[in-house]
Amino acid sequence: MSKVAFVFPGQGAQAVGMGKEVCAKYPAAQALLSRADEALGFPLSKLIFEGPEEQLRQTANTQPALLAVSAALLEVYRTRRPGADYVAGHSLGEYSALLAAGVLGFEDAVRIVRLRGEFMEQAVPSGQGAMAAVLGAEREVLRELCGQVSSEVGVVELANVNCPGQIVVSGSAAGVAAVAARAKEAGAKRAIPLEVSGPFHSSLMEPAARRLEEALRSLPMQDASTPLIANVTAQPVNAVETIRELLVRQVVSPVLWEDSVRTMIASGVDTFVELGSGTVLTGLIRKIDRGVKVVTVNDLDSLEAALQD
């Protein structure tokens, strides 16, 4: 029997104007954006629709913005389409997945990702951390290189295992630069520095993890109605206490996206629906397994095409 997974993008997928046409046509989508504005106490929707881009790119704004747009697309999509068998999200997108699975209420989700963004921005002084995408390297070989560089130059670790041949490393600016310089020795084709505000998904994010742990302790959450494939383990989880623990670990651990997609496929998923800005996950899933169907729902045209399919 065919199974479906809803997947949600993370930071980097944002774009000024995302969700604008959907909200203009569907009152339910606009209502969610208005609720986000109220929950945060400032016009997030105006920033999403009009920019400026520089302000939207700030982590504390990007995270609630992406979640709100994913939620708006999901709200309309689910009016005519059945639910999913699994949910998953890439980094920040895991919170959109938790919203889809009924673990978090919308206002609570918007507020916690705003805090998460602030904690992550503040964890490491500007300029001291970095990230880079390494293309063409084997995971274990790159992990070994990171270990060598960490002991010689500065902390650098695997951050996102996205798909075969695409792994992001994160850590100290010196450590990431050294890995980028030595990447070809590890069989990589090249290493591309990323424009980010911090060394996300590395042990340097420990201060952010501790602050997030405190914030999550008082956040109303419940068991997932749909299994979540967790970034940290690439395994299904429903229990709320385990989800809390994994959300804290996620800040300092690699996002096992390739493994997560393979887990879902092995569990019978043959259709992935990406709900949110951009097409990042669609591209990654196709590189992992070209045999599965991927539906991208990221604007008004793609939403209406998906509803009629």
Transcribe 125-142 into DSSP letters.
Answer: -TTSEEEEEEES--HHHH
pLDDT value, residue 248: 98
Q: Which residues are marked as active site?
A: 91, 201
pLDDT value, residue 195: 87
pLDDT value, residue 82: 79
Q: Give the CATH number, domain containing residue 175.
A: 3.30.70.250
Q: Give the CATH number, domain containing residue 36.
A: 3.40.366.10
pLDDT value, residue 182: 95
pLDDT above 90 for 186? no
pLDDT above 80 for 1? no
pLDDT above 90 for 83? no
Range of the domain at 92: 3-123+204-308
pLDDT value, residue 81: 84
pLDDT value, residue 2: 86
Average per-residue pLDDT for the chain: 97
In terms of phi and psi (left: phi > 0; alpha: psi -120 to 50; beta: otherwise), the region of 59 is: alpha
pLDDT value, residue 164: 96
Domain total in the chain:
2
CA distances from 56 to 8, 52, 131, 148, 281 (A): 18, 6, 20, 36, 21
pLDDT above 90 for 280? yes
Averaged pLDDT, 278-297: 98
Query: What is the end-to-end Cα distance of the chain in Å, rounded?
Result: 19
pLDDT value, residue 197: 84
Domain end among 168, 196, 224: 196
Do residues 115 and 213 share a domain?
Answer: yes
List the one residue out of 41, 40, 50, 43 whose CA is nearest residue 19. Answer: 50
pLDDT value, residue 139: 96
State how far the Cα of 251 lies from the Cα of 124, in Å rounded to an integer: 13
pLDDT band at 42 (very low <50, low <70, confident <90, very high): very high
Mean pLDDT comparison of 122-126, 191-195, 224-228, highest-scoring range: 224-228
Three-state secondary structure call for residue 171: strand
pLDDT value, residue 183: 92
Domain end among 196, 214, 247: 196
pLDDT value, residue 185: 86
Do residues 180 and 288 share a domain?
Answer: no
Domain end among 169, 196, 223: 196
